[in-house]
Each structure stands twice: as structure tokens, then as C-alpha cells.
Amino acid sequence: MLLALCGALVHYFNSVAPGVISSDRRLREAANSLMAHVLIKDDHVAIDAGAGGKPPLPSPDSIKYALRDGQGRLLAGDAQLPAVVMNNETSQLFAMSQVDRRSLRTLTTRFDTRAGVIFISVADARPAIEPAARFGFMSTLLWDFVQLDVTLVLVWVGIQLGLRPVKKLRDEIADRSPLDLRPIMESSVPREIAPVVVTLNRLFAMLRTAVQSQQQFIANTAHQLRTPITGMQAQLDLLAAEPAAQPIKERLLTLQEGIRQLAHSANQLLTLARADPAANIAAKNQPVDLNAIVGEVVAKFFDRALQANIDLGVEATSVSIRADPSLLDDLLSNLVDNALKYTPAGGSVTASAGVQNGKPFLAVEDTGPGIPEAERQRVRQRFYRSPNAPGHGSGLGLAIVDEIAGLYGASVSIGAGANGLGTKVLLLFP
């Protein structure tokens, strides 16, 4: 806009300046011509219209003039030309004067003669060029701004069209889940942003490699931990059955319980590591029937429930979500394990699955002592156990549930069971 305004001003001055220079030249020539025709006789000043080898007088249609003495009295010429006040140091003065309601450019020249000082004022009576120049200035400015507006529209359209592939790439990346590290097709993007896609694909490959290394580490750790712990449990079971071990059987039972707790804690820590979103970026999720998962998990705990005289039941309808079956198994196993641990003999534990408010859900409800409302947020923290919690747990069960639920965008709510008794943990999947 500033450039357009400067250009219009330059055009305006280029149109006005030549006319002003030409007018000033004509005024000087007219003043000199009039001075050549000034006749001084008996201290009287007059204009001699004769030629006598003198320059011709200017045409009255183009030049108006007036001769005045030092006191400003008109000696000859047009009285409508106003007197111009000049100081003693100025010999010529250009000015704009109003004549017949017209603004005319005038030149007043001071001459010293034997009759005294004479002021000759000449005015250019031809039509002024400034109105046309002003019109040209406005039209040029208007056209420049029209061009500017059209150019901006074209630039905006060009940018929108040019950025369409970039927006498409942005939308493709935005639509992906954090678990999707597939490479982007390089052939579908313009060559200008192909290096960006190549760099992104390289980053995705590095992330996949890192995740695979982490998963391999977790698998190796699980194997290295579970194998010796299982061997220790088997050896302790054989030792406890020996007659020679009867005197120390109580100690062996305490050791067996400690080994079981160690195995349980190791399994929970490994499950927590597997549930970390960073370790599941490249996880291959698949459709999982929640009804089947509930049935498999409850079957694993059926013998334990019988021994504890707890009614373990299932209420499930067929509903599927996309997830890792092993992680869902770990999630539900921790919920059922906690419910059996805290439910007294003669109580009941119910694992359920189905659809609630249009969303798939998993739930485990028990008739245990329940979780106080003030503790329901804290029990989700790692290694936190309620002060009145029985046994020697590690405080990781609900932390694992919360971690796996967050991995699949599920909400976890902890509340009271039926009739305000016990605890109900409900997971709603998107």
C-alpha cells in the first residue's frame, strides 16, 4: 500500500512539474519583455507598445500583467492583479494569486529605474494543469489499489492451492493415533515437502526400532525372572512335602508365601511396563470379545474363589473393542484378584461386560468392605495401599488398571456396589 501511494505521488509530481517549469519560464520571459517596453519620460512610467526591435509583448489571453510603483500604485496593466509585498533583498517572487475567482501563478519582479522602484507582476492566465494532474493522481491511486486487491486475492488463492498438499499431509498425520507409526507414502506429496516426509519416516522407523527393543527387553526380563522364581516355588513345594522338613514347615510356608508375593509383584511390574504407552506404540491391536476375556479370566480364579468360599460369577454380553488381548487379560485379572483379596468368605464377586450408554464396558463388583470416597483417587497411584488393606500386596493392581485403561482411552470410575455395599470398578471404552 505504501509503495502504491508513493508511486501515485511520483506520477502526480511528474505530471505537474513540467507544466510548472514551463509556466515559470514563460512568466520570466513575459516580465523581461514588459520591462523592455517600459518607457520613462518626465519621471512618468508607461508601456510603449511599439516594436522597435524589442521583444513582442505577451498576449493578453495568456499573460496578465500589472506595473506598480514602490508605494503599490498601479501604473499600467490589470488592476485585478494584487500587489505583492517584497523585501529589499528579493528581486523575484513566485506566488499564487486569486484573479476572477481563479488561482493563478504569478511572478513579481523588482526593477530599479531612474524613476524609482518598479514592480512588474505577470500571471499565467492559461488553464491550470493541476486539476488534471489531481484527477490523474486519484485515478492512478485507485487503479493501483484495485491492482493491489486483485494481486492479494490471487496470492491468497495461490497460497491456498499451494498449501493444499501440506494441509493434506497435516491432516493425515493428525488423524493417526499415537500407536500408528506406518511410513507416509512419499509419492503422494509434492517434491518440495518430500524431504520432510523422508525425515518423518526416518523418525517413525527409529521409534519403531526403539519400541521393539523395549518390548524385547521386557520379554527377556519376564523370562529371566519367571523361570527362576517358578523353579524356587517348585523346589520349596517338594521340600515342604519331605518328612525331614516337618520341624521347619512353618518357616517353609512363610518362605513359600514370600516367593509367591515376589512372583506376583514381578508379574505386576512387568505388566505395568507393558502397559506403558511408549512400549505400545507399535502394538498390533485386534478385535477382542470382552465376553470371552471375562470368561477366561474368571475361569483362572475359579478354584481360588471356591477355596475362599466366594461366589465368583459372570454377567456378560458379546461386545468387541480393538485392543491387545493380553493387556485386557492383565487388566481384568488385577481387578478380580483385588476383589477376591478383599471380599470375606460368603461374599460374592461379579465380573461383567456389555454396552452402557452406547459404550463397551468392563466391570468388577464385590461385596467387600469397600473403598472410602476419600481414598478412591489415591488407590490408583503406584505402590499406594489403604491403611486397612489386608495381606502384603504391592499397591500396583489399580495402577495397572489405570495405565492400561489410559492406553485405550477408557475412563475408570470407582464407586460403591449394589445397595451401597462393597466396591464396583467400571471401565467405559470409547
What mean pLDDT comes out for the span 359-379? Answer: 83
Q: Which residue has the higher pLDDT, 220 or 428?
A: 428
Domain co-membership, 392 together with 375: yes
Q: How many CB atoms are located within 10 Å of the residue 304 CB?
A: 14
**Domain limits for position 367:** 284-428
* Domain presence at residue 399: yes
Q: Are 71 and 59 in contact (CB under 8 A)?
A: no
End-of-domain residue from the set 275, 306, 340: 275
Q: What is the CATH number of the domain that holds 38?
A: 3.30.450
User: Pairing between strand 348-356 and 311-316?
Assistant: parallel
* Domain presence at residue 185: no
Element (H, E) at 430: none
Q: 279: pLDDT confidence band, cut at 50, 70 and 90?
A: low
Instruction: Give whichever of 210-219, 261-270, 307-316, 391-400 has the largest mean pLDDT.
Output: 307-316
Alpha helices in 175-281 (DSSP H): 194-241, 249-275
Domain co-membership, 315 together with 261: no
What pLDDT is recorded for position 69? Answer: 81
Q: Are 268 and 203 in contact (CB under 8 A)?
A: no
Domain co-membership, 295 together with 422: yes
Counting Cβ atoms within 10 Å, is residue 256 exposed (0-12), middle (13-18) or buried (19+)?
middle
* Domain presence at residue 192: no
pLDDT tens sequence across 192-223:
788 888 898 898 888 888 777 776 776 677 66
Domain co-membership, 243 together with 333: no
What pLDDT is recorded for position 385? Answer: 63
* Domain presence at residue 43: yes
353 has a pLDDT exceeding 80: yes
* Domain presence at residue 95: yes
Q: How far apart are CA 233 and CA 239, in angstroms?
A: 10
Q: What is the CATH number of the domain that holds 342?
A: 3.30.565.10
Q: 27: pLDDT confidence band, cut at 50, 70 and 90?
A: confident
Q: How many CB atoms are located within 10 Å of the residue 183 CB?
A: 13
Domain co-membership, 112 together with 226: no
End-of-domain residue from the set 106, 132, 158: 132
Q: How far apart are CA 130 and CA 315, in angstroms?
A: 96
Domain co-membership, 259 together with 291: no
Question: CA gyration radius for the chain?
Answer: 52
pLDDT tens sequence across 128-186:
666 666 777 777 778 888 888 899 999 999 998 888 888 888 888 888 766 677 888 87
pLDDT tens sequence across 222-248:
667 777 777 887 888 888 788 887 888
What pLDDT is recorded for position 142? Answer: 83
pLDDT tens sequence across 86-143:
777 778 888 888 777 777 888 888 887 777 788 888 888 776 666 666 777 777 778 8
Domain co-membership, 261 together with 397: no
Whole-model pTM: value is 0.47
Q: Which residue has the higher pLDDT, 218 or 415?
A: 415
Domain co-membership, 242 together with 117: no
* Domain presence at residue 87: yes
The structural domain count of the chain equals: 3
End-of-domain residue from the set 132, 157, 183: 132
